[in-house]
Amino acid sequence: MAGILAWFWNERFWLPHNVTWADLKNTEEATFPQVEDLYLAFPLAFCIFMVRLIFERFVAKPCAIALNIQANGPQIAQPNAILEKVFTAITKHPDEKRLEGLSKQLDWDVRSIQRWFRQRRNQEKPSILTKFCESMWRFSFYVYIFSYAVRFLKKTPWLWNTRHCWYNYPYQPLTTDLHYYYILELSFYWSLMFSQFTDIKRKDFGIMFLHHLVTIFLITFSYVNNMARVGTLVLCLHDSADALLEAAKMANYAKFQKMCSLLFIMFAMVFITTRLGIFPLWVLNSTLFESWEIVGPYPSWWLFNLLLLLIQGLNCFWSYLIVKIAYKAISKGKVTKDDRSDIESSSDEEDLEPPGKNPHTTTTTNGTSGTNGYLLTGSCSIDD
């Protein structure tokens, strides 16, 4: 194990030329980031997860109930051993041939079997109350961490002049505020890594998993080789829009549609401005060009910038989805659905239709779509 660690933390890869790990050991005059500091992230990630459970139970849930958000989930499919076996062991989306076979076996009409499979699929979906509590937790954390970052960074020279991220690098002392900010961010992303498997499943699960992996690796390695100054800029910039998205989701779940639309527009503007404008022109310009001029490239420098460019690629992908949602809402002027939505559309009205009525026709009441409230009305078009 010692040999593996020595190979992994090879000084010639991680540090600039003529710099060793011994040069970055703590002294009485200065404190530098240490690998051992990162071990704090694991117990802290567990604490964050426990705080989340308490917050959702005793803070978010009462708020949701006060807003008349009920815990009612989708309609439960009636028990049926044969259909349940097909659902769990064979397919959740039977084709026409299988539907006809089941119809003969059970003496049910095909439409009833289709309804059963739809209800059974939706039965595993979370309630609006669960989604509201998750969004409220994320909103609260993002507001806190972004506010802390702004208060901390406005007193630092590298916020106003990014060249200070590289002056005297890597011999830049570690401050208490920077250490706390980094460890807290790392702990939160570790908690997201683990809770992602138990949270609401979304269509971009794989992309979010990749995003969390890249973020954790970036935070870890930028802390260890003391690129923490520019790392704080990356973290703060990427946290700036997240609270607005979670706030828009909460407004959606509470059926405050005008507020949801306004918050989503604000989120889209902040997201695109920060991640497609400020991030490449300000942060990437510093990591690619200013650092090359002041410090010079070395092996981990290339890896660091490659990961930042990967993050930027994900930013472009998400910006495309946001623009796509906004375009649909503006051009068509009707209900649209977020491409990250985890809810399968199904209408109670369709289930209650008498035989002979067109099964593809749904009704609306008071401007609300007939899809169990999972789609938005008007121009607001996000749903987790």
Residue 73 banded pLDDT, cuts 50, 70, 90: low
Q: Indicate whether 315 belongs to any domain.
A: yes
Q: Indicate whether 75 belongs to any domain.
A: no
Q: Rounded distance, CA 265 to CA 271, Å? A: 10
Q: Indicate whether 255 belongs to any domain.
A: yes
296 has a pLDDT exceeding 80 = yes
Give the alpha-carbon dihedral of 317, 318, 322, 327, to 10 degrees: 10
Label residue 62 exposed, middle or buried (CB < 10 Å: 0-12, 13-18, 19+): exposed
Q: Indicate whether 37 belongs to any domain.
A: yes
Last residue of a domain, one of 332, 348, 372: 332
The answer on 189 and 233 residing in a single domain is yes
The answer on 258 and 134 residing in a single domain is yes
Q: Are 283 and 162 in contact (CB under 8 A)?
A: yes
The answer on 296 and 148 residing in a single domain is yes
pLDDT digits (tens, 9 = 90+) for 241-283: 999 999 999 999 999 999 998 999 999 999 999 999 999 999 9
Mean pLDDT of the chain: 83
The answer on 146 and 188 residing in a single domain is yes
The answer on 135 and 118 residing in a single domain is no
Q: Which domain holds residue 260?
A: 31-67+127-332
Last residue of a domain, one of 332, 352, 367: 332
Tell how far CA 79 is from the center of its chain: 35
Please count the structural domains in the chain: 2
Q: Indicate whether 371 belongs to any domain.
A: no
Q: Indicate whether 346 belongs to any domain.
A: no
pLDDT digits (tens, 9 = 90+) for 181-208: 999 999 999 998 888 777 766 666 777 7
Residue 375 banded pLDDT, cuts 50, 70, 90: very low
**Most confident segment among 66-70, 117-121, 331-335:** 66-70
- Cα-trace Rg, the chain: 25
Question: What number of CA atoms fall less than 13 Å from residue 366's CA on the CB side?
Answer: 3
Q: Rounded distance, CA 136 to CA 60, Å? A: 6
CATH code (residue 119) = 1.10.10.60
Q: Rounded distance, CA 271 to CA 113, Å? A: 44
7 has a pLDDT exceeding 90 = no
Last residue of a domain, one of 308, 332, 356: 332
Residue 35 DSSP one-character state: G
pLDDT digits (tens, 9 = 90+) for 93-103: 888 888 988 88
Q: Residue 359: its pLDDT value, please?
A: 37
Q: Residue 72: its pLDDT value, please?
A: 66
Q: Residue 119: its pLDDT value, please?
A: 83
332 has a pLDDT exceeding 80 = no
The answer on 173 and 86 residing in a single domain is no
Q: Residue 43: its pLDDT value, please?
A: 96
Q: Residue 173: its pLDDT value, please?
A: 94
Q: Rounded distance, CA 355 to CA 52, Å? A: 47
The answer on 287 and 225 residing in a single domain is yes
pLDDT average, residue stretch 332-360 = 40
Q: Indicate whether 314 belongs to any domain.
A: yes
48 has a pLDDT exceeding 50 = yes
Q: Rounded distance, CA 365 to CA 24, Å? A: 66
Q: Indicate whether 35 belongs to any domain.
A: yes
